[in-house]
Structure 1
Amino acid sequence: MKKENKIFGIYPVLEALKSDTVLDKLYVQKDIQNPKIQSIVDEAQATGTTINEVPIEKLNRLTRGNHQGIVAITSPINFPSLEATVEGVLAQNKTPLFLVLDQISDVRNFGAILRTAECTGVDAVIIQKKGGAPVSGDTVKTSAGAIFSIPVCKVDHIKDAIFYLQGSGITTLAATEKSNETIYQKNLNQALAIVMGSEGKGVSKSVLSLVDDSASLPLLGSINSLNVSVACGAFLYEVIRQRTL
């Protein structure tokens, strides 16, 4: 288990990049002109680190030391590759269950989803490198530590993950209120990856156009949507129900 830490200053951040330290976010002073910082940014981007250009006041709040215009936040976990993870799960000769999160941005939802995923035996959670909730100390807290018990794979694009899963013989099923069929009408006792969308927009149109199938949850009240972590729990427990009949 690793702690989330702040690393600041040009040379400490550079050394962290050269080591096995996984950086989750990099905060860089806006409009700073420093070739060493630019080389760090270029290298960090290549590893999928989220880069944020911020005013110097933000950096001053993050640390009281001499940050030299750059502060890195380390990730509390490592991220296995999607390919190695999927191959490892398929080699176990079991019915795999993956969870794909398309731009979940709220850290509390993310943590709650990880907790439910661990409780329901999800083999791995797949997220996009950019645009989603950070894997931070808050994620650890809201997941009740589940983040240390389930692989989290980062990919450049969710669409690439969908293609790879499909090519590996895994059915992709999107959760969307736009579907005319409910989750209870689907066969979930097969190699499966459930795709959950963002809090505001749901599963993106580009991803919906690629998945094998989609399903909704019945909504009997006047509100037309559920919290994404609640909806995810309903989907995952229907998988468990079908697989344990």
Structure 2
Amino acid sequence: MSDQIYGIRAVMEAMEANQPINKIFLQRGLKGELFKELETAIRKNGISASYVPIEKLNRLTRNNHQGVVAQISPVKFQDFESLVEKVMEEEKMPFFLLLDQVSDVRNFGAIIRTAECCGVHGIIVPKNGAAPITDDTVKTSAGAAFNVPIAKVDHLKDAIFYLQSSGISVVGATEKTEDEIYTMDFNQPCAVVMGSEDRGISPSILGVLDQTAKLPLLGSIGSLNVSVACGVFLYEVVRQRRA
């Protein structure tokens, strides 16, 4: 598990210092003015939070948690717009990866590892619903989580609009299309969107993409693990750009 901080004031100070917080666990039913201030700060900073029984907090730490435990990410997240601007200035062929609600930390780690090997310039994930970056994520990524810039955004749809306005074509991986990946043109600034393990790309995201593509599945099983499918998509970009 990632490093933790606990106690209301300690967690508030961590937010003020822009510490990369994965998630905050709050004791269900806790009251008080300071606790209300903490709740306001959590909402203001867009940090994922869950209200849990005190027994859950006691399992997370043996220290005096005061009803609050925050999990700190081992990786510092990038500012999304600054990341895009930097890549657009420095790279001839920007290459981004967006993950729509990928929730398993090991899948996330495997995807980060593949993205790093494929030269992805940045990974974009939503603040809510995405897998946190934990020690398991870093381990599964073989340390690649420290090498690939990762940005969190309030809404993935807004991030897609921003990429499109920057001249980046956004392609979604989905079986709900007739076009196969091998018909796509990745010799241009592009971003690939991968969906969640169980539902794929959400309908609201599918509706704003420039293109969608699927992988040919020749067996009886209807889908691949998301990290495997992501690897195939990313390496098709690599193949085309090296051809």
Q: Deviations over 1:89-131 (max 9, x none)?
A: 0101410110000000111111100000000000000000001
The aligned residue for residue 98 of structure 2 is 100
Runs of 4 or more consecutive aligned structure 1 residues displaced over 6 Å after TM superposition:
none
Per the alignment, residue 116 of structure 2 pairs with 118
Residue type at the aligned position of 1:213: Q
Using the size of structure 1 for normalisation, the TM-score is 0.96
The structural deviation recorded for 1:9 is 1.2
Matches within 5 A, 1:134-213: 134-213=132-211
Q: Which amino acid aligns with 1:180?
A: E
The answer to whether the aligner puts 1:225 opposite 2:217 as a matched pair is: no
Q: Is 1:74 matched up with 2:65?
A: no
Q: Is the 8 A contact 2:174 2:213 kept in 1?
A: yes
Q: Secondary structure at the match of 1:91?
A: helix
- Code of the residue aligned with 1:141 in structure 2: it is K
Structure 2 gaps, min length 5? none
Which residue pairs with 2:16 in the alignment?
18
User: In structure 2, the residue corresponding to 1:111 is in which secondary structure?
Assistant: helix
Offset at residue 24 of structure 1 (A): 1.3
The offset of 1:11, in angstroms, is: 2.1
Letter in 2 for 1:220: L
Counterpart Cα distance in 1 of 2:36 and 2:168: 40
Determine the C-alpha separation between the residues in 2 that align with 1:30 and 1:133.
23
Matched-pair contact (CA < 8 Å) for 2:20–2:73: yes
| Structure 1 counterpart of 2:227, one-letter code | S
From 214, 217, 232, the equivalent of 1:216 is 214
Q: Normalised by the size of structure 2, how large is the TM-score? A: 0.97
Q: What is the one-letter code of the residue matched to 2:125?
A: I
**Corresponding residue pairs, total:** 243
Shift of 1:38: 2.0
Helix, strand or coil for the counterpart of 2:86?
A: helix
Task: Give me the identity figure in percent.
Answer: 54
Aligned to 1:90: 88
Deviations 1:11-64 (A, max 9, x none): 222222222422111110011112212211221222222101100000000111
What's the counterpart of residue 109 of structure 1? 107
Deviates more, 1:39-48 or 1:96-105: 39-48
CA drift at 1:213: 0.2
Supply the distance in 1 between the matched residues of 2:190 and 2:82 (Cα, whole angstroms).
17
Q: 1:25 to 1:93 in 2, by over 3 A?
A: closer
Q: Give the conservation status (yes or no) of the 8 Å contact 1:100–1:193.
A: yes
Distance 1:11 1:43 in 2: 11
Task: Give, as a single letter, the amino acid of the residue that structure 2 aligns with 1:80.
Answer: Q
Query: For the structure 1 residues 124 and 208, does the alpha-carbon distance in structure 2 shift closer, same or farther, using more than 3 Å as the test?
Result: same
Whether the 8 Å CA contact 2:7–2:65 is kept in 1: the answer is: yes
Shift of 1:82: 1.1
Structure 1: runs of 5+ lacking an equivalent: none
- The amino acid that maps onto 1:15 is E
Deviation at 1:70, TM superposition (A): 0.6
For residue 237 of structure 1, report the CA deviation from its aligned partner. Answer: 0.5
Whole-angstrom CA distance in 2 between matches of 1:121 and 1:155: 21
Whole-Å separation in 2 of the counterparts to 1:197 and 1:20 = 28
